[in-house]
Amino acid sequence: MNALKFGFTRRWAGYIALAILFAAACAGLGMWQMARRAEAVTEIERVDANFDSTPIALADALPNLQAFDPAQKWLPVTVTGQYLVDEAMLVRNRPLQGPGFEQLVPLKLADGTVFIVDRGWLPTGNTQDLPEVIPAPPSGTVTVVARLKAGEPAIAGRGDVPGQIATIELAKIEGLLGLPTFTGAYGLMDSETPPATQERPVAVTRPVADEGPHLSYAFQWFTFGVLGFIGLGYIVRTEYRRLNEDDPEEQEREAARQSRRDRRGRSDADIEDEILDSHQ
């Protein structure tokens, strides 16, 4: 009997190595999906902890211009100052209810520092690549309640046009303003007092608590990795039976297997085995 000696040949060593590599790749993809799920769960927890919490003073949340902790995302803050209306800008390519823009207006505080306020989303006009109406923020001293969010990175290959920027890159905005600006975070406006005379842009809504399909995808990848070894085992069994088909002990086992198949009827697996055997 050849037993399992064939499994130690170079060809079969390659099959085993391939199965191990496949399983390792599946495990890596499964862990990546688990990491994505952990990120989604963390974001849900941030929303639950911060979105509807009582606003705190901006100075308490951000003690310096560069301060910001990711755990503060969506945290409401209050800040008082005057809008620099002439320095307002639009962030382009911001889809929400279709293509549109976000309106950024710098808010100058009493100490001369500037906090960037995102007043909301505006749809692209029907006849121009601009909003039909850009609502003016309130004049004079205004108190804004806004939810903190980290600034965005630059996007390679995207330039700016007058009055518009491609991304909320706070350090770049500080350079455009020429004033000391909070670069750790900006604020998504919830309310402003006194209110503007014109209807405000569309406000940000509470994010939907959805962790996505990452957990099921992870289980699928782990299962694929295990199935690779199951498939390898099936091929080993088939090869073993083929090489030992003349051995009396194997013939006896095959007869017993055939007897069981006859009693229960041929299964799909039996038919597949016969097809595979016929091609050996």
Structure token digits, residue 66: 């560069």
Instruction: Name the least confident of 44-48, 58-62, 180-184, 239-243.
Output: 239-243
Looking at the 3D structure of the chain, how many domains does it have?
Answer: 2
Residues 62, 146 within the same domain: yes
Q: Rounded to an integer, what distance in angstroms lies between the CA atom of residue 117 and that of residue 190?
A: 10
What is residue 1's predicted lDDT score, i.e. its pLDDT?
A: 44
Q: pLDDT tens-digit profile of 237-279? A: 777 766 666 666 666 666 666 666 666 665 566 666 666 565 5
Query: Token pair 């207006």 is at which residue?
Result: 105
Please indicate, yes or no, if residue 14 is contained in any of the structural domains: no
Query: What one-character-per-residue DSSP string does 97-159 give?
Result: SSSEEEEEEEEE-TTS-EEEEEEEEEEBPSSSSSBS--PPPPPSEEEEEEEEEE-----TT--
Q: Say if residue 62 is in the same domain as residue 189.
A: yes
Q: Measured in whole angstroms, how far is the alpha carbon of residue 11 from the centre of its chain?
A: 41
In a domain, 188, yes or no: yes
Query: What per-residue confidence (pLDDT) applies to 172?
Result: 92
Longest dimension (CA), the chain: 100
CA nearest neighbour of 125 among 92, 80, 167:
92
* 60 & 121 share domain: yes
Residue 183 lies in a domain: yes
145 has pLDDT over 90 = yes
Of 159, 193, 227, the one marking the end of a domain is 193
> What is the per-residue pLDDT for 231?
84
DSSP state string for 48-67: HHHTTSPPEEHHHH-SSTT-
Question: Residue 104: CB partners within 8 Å, gap ≥ 6?
Answer: 88, 89, 90, 91, 116, 117, 118, 119, 165, 168, 173, 186
Instruction: Let me know if residue 252 belongs to a domain.
Output: yes
Question: What's the whole-model pTM score?
Answer: 0.74
The residue range of the domain holding 138 is 53-193
Distance CA 175, CA 162 (A): 14
Instruction: Tell me, yes or no, whether 164 lies in a domain.
Output: yes
Output the pLDDT for position 157: 72
Please indicate, yes or no, if residue 270 is contained in any of the structural domains: yes
The 10s digit of each residue's pLDDT in 167-220 is 999 999 999 999 999 999 999 999 999 999 888 999 988 888 888 899 999 999
Dihedral sign for Cα atoms in the order 220, 223, 225, 227 = negative
pLDDT score of 136: 92
By mean pLDDT, which of 12-16, 81-85, 116-120, 241-245 is the weakest? 241-245
* Same-domain status, 166 and 72: yes
Predicted confidence at residue 205, as pLDDT, reads 86
Q: What is the radius of gyration, based on Cα positions, of the chain?
A: 32
179 with 274, same domain: the answer is no
- 44 is a domain residue: no
Backbone angles phi, psi at 16, to 5 degrees: -65, -45
Is 137 a domain residue? Answer: yes
